[in-house]
Amino acid sequence: MSSFEYRNGKLHVEDLPLEDIAREVGTPFFCYSTAAMVNAYNAFASALKDAGVKGTIFYALKANSNQSVISTLAAAGAGADVVSEGELRRALAAGIDPKKIVFAGVGKKPEEMALGLKVGILQFNVESLPELEALSEVAQKMGVVAPIAFRINPDVDAKTHAKISTGKAENKFGIDIPRVRKFIERANDLPNIAIESLAVHIGSQLTDASPFKDAFERLAGLYSELKQAGLPLKRIDFGGGLGIQYNDETPPDLSVYAKTVSEVVQGLDAECIFEPGRFLVGNAGVLVTETIYVKEGSNRRFVIIDAAMNDLIRPSLYDAWHDITPLQEPGADTEISPCDVVGPICESGDTFARQRPLPPVKAGDLLAMESAGAYGAVMASSYNSRLNAPEVLVKGDKFAVVRKRIDYDTLIGQDLLPEWLSS
């Protein structure tokens, strides 16, 4: 059963009409379903178990780092994949055991490494020689050993949007396979480094299983080769990337994904780590918005809503599709006509949908922008001095505001005037 569905003509999230939340919180706002996140987590974990894979799920916080979301997934059993000191602090604040945290990213700074070392995270995923050297230096100064994974760039096309592909040689991520031995030699020369793992992540929103297979086979082949050569590897980090359905895509079935993993790890005696982000939260969230005006152009109708590209940038940035669903269920014989759904920001790119077939929409009507749980609120800005869309978490028939809308004084108060302008 979906966590977002019409009941008695009103779109519900779990047992609550979204309209009731809108009345109390005001629009726009993000709304997340606890059940949808927990169900996605359990489905991922069960698929691994059914395929005989011994694996731990390290939720990629970048998809949605609200404390309540992290805590929900942590309670279900998740660790965390973090890419910055901020995310590391968020994971720790949500009570995640440092031994269930991996630190990824091409540009970790020494102070970020120091915090990871201080709390004793599971591993740093290293992507360049200067990063390796910096980590060794920080670890040596602190008198601790840094456990690392080498993030491999397998040179595989993830067949996803170019801006979120990370596994080709021209991408900034990972270490090209022919260069790995050089990294091992250097790591062996450096103090306070322990090579424990190999990692890969070829991109996000993958809707085809074959790039996973290609990348995982290359990774597993390298793992086995290096282990035979005496490297004390114990873990493989398979990254994230599993796509979700936004429109008419058919992402790989979890069982196919898990089977691919189980086949490649056969006989390797490796613990497995997975870093799903979008899969766990993407379809667990919506962005609720109110129609401000309906504007008739000479060749199209514009539905102008109170959410904008600053709230959900995916359509502007990636031409991404998000289903747009009225909170009030349209009748079966309602006439559908195409509209452009746009926000109030002064850019033509502030468009959520072009010529989207929609039932009649009038000012005041509430709409849900679906699949907004991942890479929504976390990518928001205050462009055009707009207030943030608050975030709400629902559990059954309860809801709570889990990030409030700031007020204008707070927004403007973030700026400071130099003394020569303040008198």
Ligand X SMILES: N[C@@H](CCCC[NH3+])C(=O)O
Binding-site residue ranges for pyridoxal 5'-phosphate: 241, 275-278, 375
* Among positions 112, 275, 306, 311, the unique one binding ligand PLP when judged by CB under 6 A: 275
Q: Using CB under 6 A as the criterion, what x/- string covers residues 82-111 for binding ligand X?
A: ------------------------------
Looking at this protein, which amino acid is placed at residue 95? G
Report the partner that residue 371 touches, choosing among ligand X, ligand PLP, none (CB closer than 5 to 8 A by kind): none
Residues 6+ apart with CB under 8 A from 199: 102, 104, 125, 149, 150, 151, 152, 236, 237, 238, 239, 273
417: phi then psi, degrees, rounded to nearest 5: -90, 135
Nearest approach in angstroms of CB 82 to ligand X is: 12
User: Which 112-171 residues touch ligand X, going by CB under 6 A?
Assistant: 164
Report the partner that residue 326 touches, choosing among ligand X, ligand PLP, none (CB closer than 5 to 8 A by kind): none
Is residue 239 part of the contact set for ligand PLP (CB under 6 A)? yes
346 is catalytic: yes
Nearest approach in angstroms of CB 294 to ligand PLP is: 35
Other Cβ atoms within 10 Å of 409 Cβ, number: 7
336: phi then psi, degrees, rounded to nearest 5: -105, 135
CA distances, 414 to each of 28, 328, 406, 411, 419 (Å):
22, 38, 11, 6, 16
Other Cβ atoms within 10 Å of 256 Cβ, number: 14
* Among positions 68, 205, 310, 316, the unique one binding ligand X when judged by CB under 6 A: 205
Q: Using CB under 6 A as the criterion, what x/- string covers residues 26-65 for binding ligand X?
A: ------------------------------------x---
Nearest approach in angstroms of CB 282 to ligand PLP is: 8
Distance, in Å, from the CA atom of 359 to the CA atom of 286, rounded to the nearest integer, reads 19
* Among positions 3, 125, 204, 388, the unique one binding ligand X when judged by CB under 6 A: 204
The radius of gyration of the chain's CA atoms, rounded to the nearest angstrom, is 23
Distance, in Å, from the CA atom of 80 to the CA atom of 54, rounded to the nearest integer, reads 17
User: Which 33-72 residues touch ligand PLP, going by CB under 6 A?
Assistant: 60, 62-63
Looking at this protein, which amino acid is placed at residue 55? G
* Among positions 29, 216, 246, 279, the unique one binding ligand PLP when judged by CB under 6 A: 279
Is residue 292 part of the contact set for ligand X (CB under 6 A)? no
* Among positions 108, 218, 235, 314, the unique one binding ligand X when judged by CB under 6 A: 314
Give the binding site for ligand X (CB under 6 A): 62, 164, 204-205, 314, 318, 375
* Site residues for ligand PLP per CB under 6 A: 60, 62-63, 81, 104, 201, 204-205, 239-242, 275-279
Active site residues: 346
